[in-house]
Each structure stands twice: as C-alpha cells, then as structure tokens.
C-alpha cells in the first residue's frame, strides 16, 4: 500500500501510458498502410474498371490500356516455381540440420543459412545475372532473362525462411515420438520421415507460407533477371514481369491514371499478402496448439 | 499375430534400402544449400574485387570516379535515423507487452497480429506507402527522413519481437529481488530487467540494421537516388544497395556496381558475425 503513495507514482503512470502508446504504433501503422494504399489505389482501379484492370491482358499505358492479368499470372507462376525448389531443398535441409548433421558441420552450416537470409536482394539479382542467366542462355538459348531464372533465384532466397521455420518445428516434436517409432523396429530414417516430419507438418507449412510471401513480394532480384516483358507468360524461358517489378519499373515517370494504376497494382499485391498472412497465422496457431 | 510378424520381417530389408535413399537425399540437400552459399559469395568476390579501387572511395561522387563513399555515409545515416525511431518504439512496445499487459488479453493478441502482419509486408509495399504518406502527404519530398521513417516501420516488428523474447528470458527472481528492495516497477525495468535483456535486444537491433543496409525497393521512391551526401536529412541520398541498383540500371558503370556488391556483402557478413557472437553469449548466460 505504501508503494502507491510513493512520490514516483506519477512518473510510473506516465511511463506506462508511453509504453502502451508505443505498442499501439504497429496497429496505427497497419491502419495507415491500408488507408493510404486503398484510398490511392481503388479510385484508379474504378476508373479503369475492375474487370478491365484485373482481367485485362494488355498493359500499354501510352494507349491507356491497363490490364495487369499478365503480371498477376507471372507473380503466381514465379512463386510456384520458387516453391518447388525451395520446399524440396529447404525441408530436406531442415531435416538434415535437425537429425543428420554432424556437430562440426552444423557450426558452419547454420551461420551460413543465416547469412543467406541476410544477403540483400540486389546482390541476389547480381548473382542471378552472373551465374543463372548465362547458364540458361547457354543451354536453352534466348536472352536467359526469364521466368526460370527468377524461379531459381527466388527458390534460393526463400530457402533460409523455410529451413529455419521447419527446423524449429522439427525440433519441437517430442522425442518420445521418435523413440516410440524406433522401439517398434523402424530405422532412424523411417522414424523421422514417417513419424517426426508428419508431426511437424503445421510448422513446416507455416514456413512454406512465409516463403510464399517472400517470393511474391520480392522485387529487386526479380527486376534484374526476369526480363520484365509485360506479356502473358508463355514459356519458362520467356521474360516475364511480376507485379512488384511493374511498380518499381514505371513509378519513376508515371503520372495521373498511369500512376494510379501502379498504386492499384500495389493494392492487388497487398491483398495477396494479407491472404497469405491469414493462412500463415492459421497454420502457426495449429502448430502451437499441437 | 502371425500376419504382423510377416509384415515386420518383410519390412526390415525394405526399410534398410529406404533408409539409405532418405539419408542420401537429406545429405544432398544440405550440401546443395552449402554449395549455393559458397557460389554466391565467390561470384560476388571474383567479379567485384578486381574493380575495387581507391578512387571508389573519393569524398564526392562524379561520373569519373563513381565513388561509393557518399553511399556509405548515406547508409550509416539511414541506419542511425531509422534506429532512432524504431529502437525506442520497438523496445518500449516490447516492455509493454512483456511487463505490463495481461497475458492472453485481446489487446495484446491484436498487437501481435499487427506486428506479424507488418513483418510479412514486402518492402515494395512499404516503399509505395512511404511515398504516398511521407513524401507526398507530409510534403517531405524524396528525403533521407522519408526513407528512414519508412524503414523504421519495416524494422519495428523485428526489434519488438527480439526484445520481447529477451525480456521473457529474464528470470522473475530478478524482478522480485528488485521489488523486495523497494524499487518501483519503472526503476526495476530500467535498472534491472532491460540491462539483463540487453544482448537479446542488441541481436534484434542488428537484425534490423541488416535489413536497412540491404534494402532497396522501399528506398527508391522515398529517399530517392541522388548519389551525393545530402546537406541535411531533408535531402535525397542513396544508400549502398540503392547505389548498386542505380549503377546497374544506368548501365554505364556496371563494374562499380559489382564492386559495391562486395562492400555490401562484407558489411552483411560482419553484421552476421556480430549477431552470432551475441547469440552465443546469450546461450552461455542462459546455461
């Protein structure tokens, strides 16, 4: 009781309000982002026509044609391609790290994966230009700047996300599962793949969804290697332009409706991200309850 | 009984073969991951190192020396400015979540949801938001300040999360001891809990620094792409990552762009080493 009459009481109360106010800033930020994006993007979208904007296959700002379907399709296809690479290598690497990796190798590999997560996307783009693009050019012909190049680089970029999340999920599975399976006569490998991995399913899915978000939102690396042609993607070896690339490439000189159309592209991307985020929290909660 | 016996005896040889294949697969994946990292680092070094010359570090940028020195200074400014906003707000938010809020309250769940959503938003969306809000609506123009405010929002959840985890890791006995000696809650937080949580908080801050250093998409349309050191924070200036991208798009000085990649990579490696060191310290302290 004495404490409540302490002279510092006013300060205590003030600081508690300051702390609470700071905690509210992330809420305010999300609201502001939503308001600014929708308020600036939706009018443009309405002017163009929602159907024409989302379903139009021709993007030609000079002729007032703003169809972003090619970009939406490109973003989705590039993401799927990246996922195929990222999931296969990522989940297997996570299993390797959690159950097979010798301690000395682990001490090198784990910081290596953290480094992979920290490399800036422009540097990934540069690596793509130097290694992946020439490789595709030499084997398949063409410019090499292609959807395939984007898939490979994005697949590498989402590796650390998938590996880290999956490893955490795998390690969280109680050892009794593994031991029980061993006791029933299964091999080390079989116990891991048939018992531990299925038990860690939710956490692994959460990591994959986080990877989807990273892949669909990645901008700089994609701009440098995907070719950026704003046409319907028709082949793995053809150039494509994603939604993110569309925004950065043209925002610098766009005015009026063109600019609004680009902001509207950001709105579409934002809606994709929100859906991905909702999926992520569903899977994450499932994993936590588990 | 009989059937299950048969099954087990059938399974053993089959299981061994399967085990070998699975083992080979996971080893292959681990090796591929390691190899990819090595190839990236080597590619950057081999292509970039030959282009690192003293003229790259001239004080002023001009088309002849294509100096990256202004970009380095701008990167430092950007790191400092964005931390100036994000660090106190992030740490204070975490203090509220860990020390004041009731566990499981709806408000806390909502804050957590929004900060998780912030984490998932791609940098280009932050860039467009920063352009609409800070550059246009707040009339800041392309400026270091607009860029820093945008990046502060990006790294806020990173710092918040690391700090919250660090605060939770501080044993309750510390707080009880401090209360027992008559200290108030605020004093306990600032004199006992936060100092004990410093390494964990620092790890989060360094993660944030790494994101600022590597960021491009969120800065092009907020801080702009001027290759000089601005007179004040209301001026436009490009950081190293933006510098590298701009040189590449301009297409005139691609070699210098490669050299910039080396500098960026070295900075990122150093930041990673520091955060690893801190993480090891934290782990040791917890043991």
Instruction: Assign domain B55-286 to its CATH architecture.
Output: Orthogonal Bundle (1.10)
Same domain assignment for residues A106 and A16: no
ipTM: 0.90
Any residues with CB less than 8 A from the CB of A242 and at least 6 apart, and which? Answer: A71, A74, A75, A78, A150, A216, A222, A226
In a domain, A92, yes or no: yes
Same domain assignment for residues A11 and A127: no
Nearest Cβ partner for B117 among A22, A127, A277: A277
- Closest residue by Cα to residue A148 from A209, A58, A238, A283: A238
Q: Is residue B53 classed as helix, strand or coil in its secondary structure?
A: coil
In a domain, A60, yes or no: no
Cα Rg, chain A, nearest whole Å:
24
Q: How far is CA A41 from the centre of its chain?
A: 22
Kindly list the residues from chain A whose CB atom is less than 8 angstroms away from the CB atom of residue B265.
119, 123
Same domain assignment for residues A113 and A251: yes
Cβ neighbours, 10 Å, residue A139: 9
- Which residues, numbered 174 to 203 in chain A, qualify as contacts with chain B under a Cβ-Cβ cut-off of 8 Å? 185-190, 192-193
In a domain, A64, yes or no: no
Q: What is the pLDDT of residue A2?
A: 44
Enumerate the domain spans of chain B: 2-51, 55-286
Nearest Cβ partner for B186 among A15, A88, A118: A15
Same domain assignment for residues A16 and A102: no
Domain count, chain A: 2
Same domain assignment for residues A9 and A47: yes
Length of chain B: 287
Q: Judge whether residue A176 has pLDDT over 50.
A: yes
Q: Judge whether residue A115 has pLDDT over 70.
A: yes
Cβ–Cβ gap A12/B271 under 8 Å: no
Identify from B151, B241, B243, B245 which residue to disrupt to test chain A contact, counting A C-beta atoms within 10 A and taking the largest count.
B245
Same domain assignment for residues A115 and A30: no
Structure tokens at A160: 């650390």
For chain A, give the DSSP string: -GGGG-TTHHHHHHHHHHHHHHHHHHHHHHHHHHHHHHHHHHHHHHHH-HHHHHH---EEGGGTEE--HHHHHHHHHHHHHHHHHHHHHHHHHHHIIIII--HHHHHHHHHHHHHHHHS-HHHHHHHIIIIIHHHHHHHH-S-S-SHHHHHHHHHHHHHHHHHHHHHHHHHHS-HHHHHHHHHTT--HHHHIIIIIHHHTHHHHHHHHHHHHHHHHH--HHHHHHSB---S----TTS-B--HHHHHHHHHTT--HHHHHHHHHHHHHHHHHHHHHHHHHHHHHHHHHH-
- Provide the residue range defining the domain that includes A7: 2-53
Alpha-carbon span B36 to A148, nearest angstrom: 17
* CATH code for the domain of A217: 1.10.3720.10
Same domain assignment for residues A14 and A115: no
Same domain assignment for residues A117 and A145: yes
Which residue in chain A is spatially nearest to B41 when comparing CA positions?
A127
Q: What is the pLDDT of residue B287?
A: 62
Which residue in chain B is spatially nearest to A244 when comparing CA positions?
B124
Contact (CB, 8 A) for A68 and A53:
yes
Kindly list the residues from chain B whose CB atom is less than 8 angstroms away from the CB atom of residue A97.
30
- Closest residue by Cα to residue B116 from A282, A162, A90: A282
Cβ–Cβ gap A93/B32 under 8 Å: yes
Cβ–Cβ gap A109/B36 under 8 Å: no
Contact (CB, 8 A) for B161 and B204:
yes
In a domain, A208, yes or no: yes
Q: Judge whether residue A46 has pLDDT over 70.
A: yes
pLDDT digits (tens, 9 = 90+) for A68-85: 999 999 999 999 999 999
Same domain assignment for residues A37 and A115: no
Same domain assignment for residues A216 and A274: yes
Alpha helices in chain B (DSSP H): 2-48, 69-95, 106-120, 123-130, 144-169, 172-180, 185-188, 194-214, 217-220, 240-250, 254-286
Cβ–Cβ gap A220/B216 under 8 Å: yes
Contact (CB, 8 A) for A125 and A220:
yes
Name the band, by pLDDT with cuts 50, 70 and 90, for residue A288.
Answer: low
Contact (CB, 8 A) for A245 and A72:
no
pLDDT tens, residue order, chain B (287 aa):
344 444 444 445 556 788 888 999 999 999 999 999 999 999 999 998 888 888 888 878 877 778 888 999 999 999 999 999 999 999 999 999 999 888 778 888 889 889 889 999 999 999 999 999 999 999 999 999 999 999 999 999 999 999 999 999 899 999 999 999 988 888 999 999 999 999 889 988 999 999 999 999 999 999 988 888 888 889 999 999 999 999 888 877 888 888 899 999 999 999 988 888 887 877 777 66
Q: What is the pLDDT of residue B5?
A: 42
Q: Closest Cα of chain B to A163: distance in Å? A: 10
Any residues with CB less than 8 A from the CB of A141 and at least 6 apart, and which? Answer: A237
Identify from A119, A155, A217, A283 which residue to disrupt to test chain B contact, counting B C-beta atoms within 10 A and taking the largest count.
A119
In a domain, A61, yes or no: no
Kindly list the residues from chain B whose CB atom is less than 8 angstroms away from the CB atom of residue A274.
117
Q: What is the pLDDT of residue B8?
A: 45
In a domain, A138, yes or no: yes
Q: What is the pLDDT of residue A287?
A: 67
- Which residues, numbered 222 to 281 in chain A, qualify as contacts with chain B under a Cβ-Cβ cut-off of 8 Å? 224, 244, 247-248, 251-252, 263, 266, 269-270, 273-274, 276-277, 280-281
Alpha-carbon span A152 to B262, nearest angstrom: 22
Nearest Cβ partner for A190 among B15, B36, B95: B15
Same domain assignment for residues A120 and A176: yes
Cβ–Cβ gap B185/A12 under 8 Å: yes
Same domain assignment for residues A43 and A74: no
What is the arithmetic mean of pLDDT over A190-219? Answer: 91
Q: What is the pLDDT of residue B286?
A: 66
Kindly list the residues from chain A whose CB atom is less than 8 angstroms away from the CB atom of residue B7.
none
Kindly list the residues from chain B whose CB atom is less than 8 angstroms away from the CB atom of residue A192.
22
Q: What is the pLDDT of residue A7?
A: 58
């Amino acid at each position: 009781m004495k404490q409540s009459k302490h002279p510092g009481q006013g300060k205590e109360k003030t600081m508690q309000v300051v702390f609470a106010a700071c905690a509210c800033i992330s809420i305010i930020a999300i609201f502001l982002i939503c308001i600014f994006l929708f308020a600036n993007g939706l009018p443009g979208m309405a002017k163009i026509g929602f159907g024409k904007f989302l379903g139009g296959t021709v993007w030609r700002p000079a002729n007032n044609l703003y169809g972003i379907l090619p970009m939406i399709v490109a973003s989705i296809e590039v993401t799927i391609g990246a996922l195929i690479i990222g999931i296969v290598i990522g989940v297997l690497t996570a299993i390797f790290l959690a159950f097979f990796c010798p301690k000395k190798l682990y001490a090198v590999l784990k910081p290596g994966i953290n480094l992979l997560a920290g490399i800036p996307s422009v540097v990934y783009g540069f690596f793509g230009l130097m290694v992946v693009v020439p490789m595709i050019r030499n084997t398949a012909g063409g410019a090499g700047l292609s959807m395939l190049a984007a898939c490979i680089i994005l697949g590498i970029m989402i590796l650390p996300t998938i590996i880290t999340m999956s490893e955490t999920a795998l390690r969280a599975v109680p050892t009794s599962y593994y031991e029980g399976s061993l006791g029933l006569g299964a091999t080390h490998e079989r116990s891991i793949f048939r018992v531990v991995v299925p038990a860690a399913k939710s956490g692994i899915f959460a990591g994959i969804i986080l990877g989807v978000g990273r892949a669909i939102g990645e901008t700089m690396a994609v701009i440098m290697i995907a070719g950026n042609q704003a046409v319907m993607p028709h082949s793995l070896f053809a150039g494509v332009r994603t939604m993110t690339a569309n925004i950065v490439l043209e925002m610098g000189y766009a005015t009026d409706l063109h600019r609004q159309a680009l902001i509207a592209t950001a709105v579409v991307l934002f809606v994709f991200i929100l859906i991905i985020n909702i999926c992520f929290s569903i899977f994450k909660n499932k994993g936590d309850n588990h | 009984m009989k059937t299950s016996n048969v099954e087990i005896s059938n399974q053993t040889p089959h299981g061994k073969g399967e085990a070998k294949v699975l083992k080979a697969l996971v080893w292959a994946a681990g090796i591929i991951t390691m190899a990819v990292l090595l190839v990236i680092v080597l590619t950057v070094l081999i292509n970039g190192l030959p282009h690192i010359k003293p003229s790259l570090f001239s004080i002023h940028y001009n088309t002849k020396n294509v100096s990256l020195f202004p970009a380095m200074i701008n990167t430092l400014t950007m790191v400092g400015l964005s931390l100036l906003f994000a660090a106190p707000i992030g740490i204070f938010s975490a203090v509220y979540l860990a020390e004041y809020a009731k566990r499981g309250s709806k408000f806390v769940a909502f804050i957590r949801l929004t900060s998780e959503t912030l984490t998932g938003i791609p940098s280009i969306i932050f860039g467009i938001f920063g352009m609409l809000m800070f550059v246009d609506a707040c009339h800041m123009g392309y400026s270091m300040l607009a860029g820093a405010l945008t990046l502060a929002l990006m790294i806020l959840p990173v710092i918040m999360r690391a700090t919250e985890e660090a605060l939770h890791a501080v044993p309750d006995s510390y707080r009880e001891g401090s209360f027992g000696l008559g200290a108030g809650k605020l004093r306990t937080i600032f004199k006992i809990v936060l100092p004990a949580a410093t390494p964990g908080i620092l790890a989060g801050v360094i993660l944030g620094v790494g994101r600022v250093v590597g960021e491009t998409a969120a800065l092009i349309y907020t801080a702009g792409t001027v290759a000089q050191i601005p007179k004040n924070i209301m001026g436009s200036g490009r950081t190293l990552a933006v510098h590298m991208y701009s040189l590449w798009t301009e297409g005139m000085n691609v070699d210098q762009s490669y050299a910039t990649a080396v500098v960026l990579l070295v900075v990122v490696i150093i930041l990673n080493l520091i955060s690893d060191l801190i993480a090891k310290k934290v782990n040791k302290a917890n043991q």
